[in-house]
Structure 1
């Protein structure tokens, strides 16, 4: 399905929310209809995503934020004082928000957070709003965990859940240029697209719930393999005496061309400004590449899909990740671990 560009107009106002009249009431008496939003997970990706979301929302809307790192929540509020509230826990986010976005590190974090939000299953009765929620999980996790969480949300009829992993890294999150791959029922795609377009440039609907993650993991599996293959090919040619830039230039107009060869070449000096040319700083961390590869292999095994190269590549990434001169670096540092000339 064709990706969508960012929406210029704000999200259409929804029906008035049912408000519990108590001391926690934090809306004004403005005649404008307000929409409440929730954002859980203010890490390296989530923080700039939440900032971009708040900047695109109408002034009268309220964004409830929550992170296990209370310092991150406080800092966000200090930098974005208008229309932001810190929730005391994730259940409060669920109770007070119509649209909830989660950006979490690992599958068990996603399971735990959604369990706290969905239990007891009384959001529509006792919550800040009586509307059915829209839960958008932007975490990169395994499809089975995501489907389990979706089942809990849908069977309790408290909300609609979609998976929306993203591509673009921290730089894309900061610039608002992320690409989201979503798995969602057709009738919720337009609404989800409007929400995600406030934090990114493209939204690609790949199919029903779970399809976004499956697409993301398939892509990152290929990326992980291409990264190793590019490092090996570049090292091979350079060891034979070829000029690194000439070799890369030839590859990039030939059949070996791929993102790791053309954009993120692992040899220092070949691509100006690339992580390799900055001591392998920044970029797509080796630990994240290893994590996504593990998730892809796990999901493939669960579906009884045969892989020829995955486990060999995973063993190599684990080796690189644990090497003292490679820890915390961009995943193109595999070239260094191969003994490549720097």
Structure 2
């Protein structure tokens, strides 16, 4: 029987600080201060890197890279006077940084970045003089994550951990993300020490790939719950029910779920929800489509049944082709269904 996942909460621990301090006793000047790498400054990555820079010692260096130079320029400008370096290529980061965090959109982005960082296989002879720790916070499929992990480990140049997250842009900005990690037991502590500088909780789901499997299972359920909530709210309102009273009923009864309680799709039922802002912000429909596709792909590969998934995916596909809905928070399914706004 497998052991239940472990949960780690809190701020970066003393053990990580101790290990950082220990490595700064190396005789060479290039090891006196720690260097961190961050690749991918999108809507999630930018605030995550910002929180990381705020938590690591001022003397440490943070090297950043993104395909959009305007974003890295903005980050550097916002952190003027701090130790920030903009890398033109990701190889610069792997040569200098001991801990490297990636937050990338698609599986092929992760593969390409890892490939560029690992070749040539000479990282142990340069920079911090020790194996690198690659923490991938991207949401990709377990198969491609396993390939990335194998590429890192077979090169002998470091460790690879999958660490997808939950909490959205709001959580990334507030530093309250939950990370789900796939790692061997001995890596849980050092990885958690890093992640807790950008979030508040770390769930160890099992060995490499388990973090992504947990994330995809959760988001698969989220995608189904969202459509069901939109349909139920639309039904009730068309039957003449008051939307706030209907939501109150659902949220204190067996239909209770996050899309109803926190991200209700009917405008002004929840004042701060994306629906109350014209469905702007939040978790984009395109991201939900991506996660549903990845979950269905992984389900197919493992032989797991997915009776409702393909129907749900087709709904999100249609929503993204609707001019009044595309590019919006995924709760815009309610608008797509003709819900009263």
Q: Render the CA deviation track for 1:188-233: whole Å, top value 9, x for unaligned.
A: 1100000001111111111111011000000000000000000111
Is the aligned partner of 1:2 residue 2:20?
Answer: no
> What TM-score, normalized to structure 2?
0.94
Is the aligned partner of 1:101 residue 2:107?
Answer: no
Counting matched residue pairs gives 332
2:162 is aligned to 163
Structure 2 counterpart SS, 1:11: helix
1:124 is aligned to 124
Aligned-residue offset at 1:327:
1.1
For the residues of structure 2 that align with 1:114 and 1:74, how far apart are their CA atoms? Answer: 23
Aligned-residue offset at 1:16:
4.2
TM alignment of 1:165-314, pairs within 5 A: 165-314=164-313
Is the aligned partner of 1:137 residue 2:136?
Answer: yes
Structure 2 counterpart SS, 1:63: strand
Aligned-residue offset at 1:332:
0.5
Q: Choose the corresponding residue for 1:11, options 8, 17, 32.
A: 17
For the residues of structure 2 that align with 1:178 and 1:294, how far apart are their CA atoms? Answer: 23
Higher helix share: 2
1:19–1:109 distance in 2 versus 1, CA, 3 Å: farther
Contact 1:19 1:129 in 2 (8 A): no
Contact 1:284 1:331 in 2 (8 A): yes
Aligned-residue offset at 1:50:
0.7
Aligned-residue offset at 1:17:
8.5
Structure 1 unaligned residues grouped into runs of 5+: none
Aligned-residue offset at 1:276:
1.0
> What TM-score, normalized to structure 1?
0.93
2:3 is aligned to none
Contact 2:183 2:207 in 1 (8 A): yes
Structure 2 unaligned residues grouped into runs of 5+: 1-5
For the residues of structure 2 that align with 1:216 and 1:3, how far apart are their CA atoms? Answer: 17
For the residues of structure 1 that align with 2:219 and 2:93, how far apart are their CA atoms? Answer: 31
Aligned-residue offset at 1:129:
2.0
For the residues of structure 1 that align with 2:46 and 2:38, how far apart are their CA atoms? Answer: 9
Contact 1:5 1:203 in 2 (8 A): no
Structure 1 segments of 4+ aligned residues over 4 angstroms from their partners: 16-20
For the residues of structure 2 that align with 1:106 and 1:3, how far apart are their CA atoms? Answer: 28
Aligned-residue offset at 1:242:
1.2
Aligned-residue offset at 1:8:
6.2
TM alignment of 1:317-336, pairs within 5 A: 317-336=316-335
CA-atom RMSD, angstroms? 1.7
For the residues of structure 1 that align with 2:181 and 2:311, how far apart are their CA atoms? Answer: 29
Contact 1:134 1:160 in 2 (8 A): yes
